[in-house]
Amino acid sequence: MKLKEYVLEIGKKAKEASFEMLKVSTEQKNSALFYIAKEIEKKREIIKKINRKDVLNSQKLNKSSAFIDRLTLTDKRIDQMIKSLKEIIKLKDPVGEITKTWVRPNGMKISKVKMPLGVLCIIYESRPDVTIEASALSIKSGNCIILRGGSEAIFSNILLTDLIKKGLKKSGLSEFVVQTIKTTDRKAIKILLQLKDYIDVIIPRGGKALVDFVATNSKIPVIYHDAGVCHIFVDKKANIDMAVRVCYNAKVQRPGTCNAMETLLVHKDISRIFLPQIYDELKKANVKLFVCEKTKKIIKDGILAKEKNYYTEYNDYILNIKIVNDIDEAIMHINKYGTHHSDAIITEDKKCAEKFLKEVDSAACFLNASTRLHDGFEFGLGAEMGISNHKIHIRGPLALEGLTSEKYIIKGDGQIRE
């Protein structure tokens, strides 16, 4: 079968299954998620073995350590996938929820009711755990989903999709509720982006190049999971110990994620106290530092940053550090160079904190907490399809409710328009 025919057939099957999903009960959805969790637990060792194949292939291509980290499925991450499925089972099913009802003077009763978006297509890179989280959220929200993962995780994604299909069948749902594109041919993405008769929403989750490609070529509405150039501003009234702990976590805990800190801004009044301490910690983790001229006087082995550094999402053990005169300069820097994703302030000054939280134009603004916490699971949303830093339809974690739309239900007793 030719590539275009193959992708088109997947789209058709997804659309057909989406109409069947409108009839499915919450119990059936939860049953599917339960059986998927069982399959993952049962095939844990096989998952790790197949994933190792993807990891070794990427190592041969000299991928970065952060990239390999995103790709690797450990027991801990498999446990997290299972936990995520169980958490989604517990969440309230949004489909069918009546959000508003009113009666018109002519007696006509109007309601707004939540319904699935239909057929989702997520295009993502390197992280095979996204296969489980995206599928689980799609199932619970009554959607069908087409998965197009990165070529580097192809073996892991195919195996995980097979396990999902087993769970779907055991609960009496169509196996076409979740499908994966099994070819690594990049032309498949361009074909997917043209299937406006079969796919309702495209969700790109990856680097800037991927998102820009989707934005340029899609004939289908897009919910963007855009770049994460995230900041932390350490104010002059910050608790130093807290600032060191939070900033270290935001950069080092998992640098390959979109909510990892890429630029650290430090108030000039606290710079000579704070910077040597955070430098000592970052040095232990072998973090490469790009610094401003003022910071260079304190951190001697830092590399002088150029403006392009402040626009860069590194997804690696690399960090920009800049000293600023006050909170206004920090906010201006974030709103200029950031991607409106995740930004934080460390301070004990309530007035300063409120100013930052109000004036920084990002999907999530944190006070005295790590940007790494911007996550659907951490927010109690069960999981996420990604984090949207755009403002239309959904902003922040794209979780269960974000995968629904609303339709009007109108009940009358013979009303006509005069």
User: Domain with 393 in it: what CATH number?
Assistant: 3.40.605.10
- Residue 227 tokens read as 């770049």
Residue 350 CB contacts under 8 Å (≥ 6 apart), including other chains: none
Q: What letter represents residue 187's amino acid?
A: K
Whether residue 114 is found in the same domain as residue 11: yes
- How far apart CA 81 and CA 86 sit, in angstroms, is 9
Q: What is the distance between the terminal CA atoms of the chain, rounded to a whole angstrom?
A: 56
Statement to judge: residues 221 and 237 lie in one domain:
no
Same domain, 309 and 405: no
pLDDT at 172: 96
Same domain, 238 and 132: no
Query: Does a structural domain hold residue 418?
Result: no
Residue 342 pairs in a beta bridge with: 364
206: nearest Cα among 305, 70, 354: 70
Total-model pTM: 0.86
The identity of residue 276, as a single letter, is P
Tell me, yes or no, whether 380 lies in a domain: no
In a domain, 39, yes or no: yes
CATH code, domain carrying 265: 3.40.309.10
The DSSP string of 219-249 is SS-B--B----EEEEE-TT--HHHHHHHHHH
**Bridge partners for 204 per DSSP:** 123
**pLDDT of res. 147:** 98
pLDDT for the residue numbered 273: 97
Evaluate whether residue 379 is within a structural domain.
no
C-alpha angle with apex 112: 109 to 117, nearest 5 degrees?
145
Classify residue 190: in a domain, yes or no: yes
SS3 271: helix
- Per the structure block, which two tokens stand in for 196? 């406006």
Residues 365 and 394 in one domain: no
* Contact residues for 399 (Cβ-Cβ < 8 A; gap 6+): 137, 376, 379, 381, 382, 383, 384, 385
Say yes or no: 243 and 202 in one domain: no
Q: Evaluate whether residue 85 is within a structural domain.
A: yes
What per-residue string of b and e applies to 269-306 under the rule 16 or more CB within 10 Å gives b? Answer: ebbeebbeebbeebeeeebebbbbebbbebbeebeebe
Pairing verdict, β 119-124 and 201-205: parallel
81 strand-pairing partners: none
Give the per-residue pLDDT at 225.
81
d(CA 365, CA 13): 41
Do residues 166 and 299 both lie within one domain?
no
Does any domain span residue 416? Answer: no
220 and 236 in a common domain: no
Residues 6+ apart with CB under 8 A from 257: 70, 228, 315, 372
Residues 213 and 267 in one domain: no
Residue 382's pLDDT is 77
CB–CB of 234/250 below 8 Å? no
Tokens of residue 146, six digits: 């087409």
Count of structural domains within the chain: 2
Say if 237 falls within a structural domain.
yes
Asked if 154 and 248 sit in the same domain, the reply is: no
Domain that holds residue 338: 230-373
Alpha-carbon distance of 122 to 119, in angstroms, equals 10
Token readout for 215 is: 């934005």
Domain shared by 152 and 130, yes or no: yes
Burial class of 151 by CB neighbour count within 10 A (0 to 12, 13 to 18, 19+): middle
| Residues 11 and 154 placed together within one structural domain of the fold | yes
- Write out the two tokens for 34: 């339960």
H helix intervals, 141-198: 154-170, 187-192
Q: pLDDT in tens for each of the 418 residues of the chain? A: 799 999 999 999 999 999 999 999 999 999 999 999 999 999 999 999 999 999 999 999 999 888 899 899 999 999 999 999 999 999 999 999 999 999 999 999 999 999 999 999 999 988 899 999 999 999 999 999 999 999 999 999 999 999 999 999 999 999 999 999 999 999 999 999 999 999 999 999 877 788 889 989 999 999 988 789 999 999 999 999 999 999 999 999 999 889 999 999 999 999 999 999 999 999 999 999 999 999 999 999 999 999 999 999 999 999 999 999 999 999 999 999 999 999 999 999 999 999 999 999 999 999 999 999 999 889 988 788 888 888 888 899 999 999 999 999 999 999 999 8
Tokens linked to 336: 């200029």
Q: What is the pLDDT of residue 277?
A: 98
